[in-house]
Amino acid sequence: MIQIAILGFGVVGSGTAAVLEENKQLLTARCGEEVNIKYILDLREFPEHPLGDRVVHSIDVILQDPEVVLVAEMMGGAHPAYDFTLAALQAGKSVVTSNKEVVATFGAELLEVARKHKVSYLFEASVGGGIPIIRPMQTDLASNEILSVSGILNGTTNFILTKMIREGASFDDVLKEAQRNGYAEADPTADVEGLDAARKIVILAALAFGVLLDPNAISTRGITGITSDHVAMAKALGGAVKLIGHTQQIEGKTLALVTPFLVPAANPVCHVDGVFNGILVEANMLGRALFYGAGAGKLPTASAVVADIIDVLSHRTQERKLPVWRVAEAEDYAPAEAFVCRHAYLMEGCSHCAAKAKAALQTEECVMLEGGRFAVVSAPMRRADADAALSSTGLEALVVLPVLD
């Protein structure tokens, strides 16, 4: 029998226990032995839960038990989750986690500690909930050079934007609905300001390019400023507004950013709606591949945690090759200002003004709207160059969004 411990018995922790118990026979077949939850670490008691007798309140109980070979950390937040993870790895126990904040902040260090102690540190559930993305990037795409990763990484904001597009509702009204339905926290700041997506995109950037950026140092803009004008412009141009995390390399430096984009219908990410996530990986041999599914939720996220548990336990007699990340220095960051893409502008004016805007932006893509407005999409260029070109005509934009082609 293989003994494991769960740290944190909230939504994902209890979901992980449920998957382990429900699929016990399947796990036994795939791991070679029965997997048993020996301990559950939490501050609370769970007297009504069937596993309530496994609850302990001190990490030392787990660290000092040589029978425990794996710890599943789902506490959330940076501390004490990082401290407990570090201690478990140093004690020779493998760790799997759904904690994006710990991975995005301390991942490089924890991977090195795991290598040193010949154990595993896996984090499939830290990005995309139940969507397989970490392991495919490490294994299935190992023969490829990753060129870029772009995607919808937060289900709360995608739910809000989808409602605004389909129903014409305001941001504030849809946020309240999301909170009532349990899709948004009472304090939604991490979601709606893009902080959650920023942590996830730096993890994907590290997987793609080997450099762990600071999520607090990348350009991050949320959706609180999105209005009906943004939605109307996107609709007129045949696309949708999506909060996108994007990473690529520019002249050997790593760019990562989070911002609302206009996503054209030709891009499959445009059609990822509601609370779902969609991650588009572009590789030099494969081309584009979309990873789509439930990006959050108790059982989808728990299924990714348990997949990591199976991975570790079914290969426990083999030495694992873990990714090598290096913590980014100042010179590793590509500035967001260097990002080249098309830009969509909503403007007031007649067809003569539209012609001036098209000439300035080196484009023919323009749609006249009701009410003396038009939407125009620039040729690929830096945002500063596009703004300067428009400024030279004397025209002013009402709203602007980058375009994710």
Say yes or no: 84 and 199 in one domain: no
Active site (annotated) includes residue 200: yes
Within-domain flag for 343 = yes
Q: What CATH code is carried by the domain that includes residue 377? A: 3.30.70.100
C-beta atoms surrounding 195 within 10 Å: 17
Distance between CA atoms of residues 146 and 139, nearest Å: 12
In a domain, 330, yes or no: no
Regarding whether 372 and 305 lie in a shared domain, the answer is: no
Q: Which residues contact 297 (CB under 8 A, 6 or more apart)?
A: 129, 130, 275
Same domain, 161 and 231: yes
| Domain count for the chain | 3
Owning domain of residue 393: 339-403
Domain match, 288 and 307 both: no
Residue 181: the pLDDT is: 80
Residues 261 and 339: their CA atoms lie apart, in Å, by 13
Residue whose tokens read 């490829």: 144
Residue 213 sits in the same domain as residue 84: no
Residues 40 and 70 in one domain: yes
Q: What is the model's pLDDT at position 332?
A: 98
Establish if 117 belongs to a structural domain. Answer: yes
Residues 238 and 147 in one domain: yes
Question: What CATH number is associated with residue 188?
Answer: 3.30.360.10
Q: Is residue 331 part of a domain?
A: no
Report whether 18 contacts 6 (CB < 8 A).
no
- Answer yes or no: is 138 within a domain: yes
Q: What are the structure tokens assigned to 13, written together?
A: 């922790």
pLDDT tens string for the chain (405 positions)?
A: 999 999 999 999 999 999 999 999 999 999 999 999 999 999 999 999 999 999 999 999 999 999 999 999 999 899 999 999 999 999 999 999 999 999 999 999 999 999 999 999 999 999 998 899 999 999 999 999 999 999 999 999 999 999 999 999 999 999 999 888 877 888 999 999 999 999 999 999 999 999 999 999 999 999 999 999 999 999 999 999 999 999 999 999 999 999 999 999 999 999 999 999 999 999 999 999 999 998 888 899 999 999 999 999 999 888 788 999 999 999 999 999 999 999 999 999 999 999 999 999 999 999 999 999 999 999 999 999 999 999 999 999 999 999 999
Q: Are residues 90 and 156 in the same domain?
A: no
Do residues 268 and 193 share a domain?
yes
Task: Report if residue 108 sits inside a domain.
Answer: yes
The DSSP-derived string for 350-369 is -HHHHHHHHHHTT---EEEE
Residue 185 and residue 188: Cα distance in Å, rounded? 5
pLDDT of residue 321: 85
User: Which residues, 6 or more positions from 167, have their beta carbon under 8 angstroms from its beta carbon?
Assistant: 174
Q: What is the model's pLDDT at position 297? A: 83
75 CB burial (10 A radius; 0-12, 13-18, 19+): buried
Q: How many CB atoms lie within 10 A of CB 83?
A: 13
Write down the catalytic residue from 93, 163, 200, 356.
Answer: 200
CATH number of the domain enclosing 30: 3.40.50.720
Flag whether 221 is in a domain.
yes
- 95 with 156, same domain? no
Residues 394 and 368 in one domain: yes
Decide if 349 is inside a domain. yes
- 244 lies in the same domain as 311: no
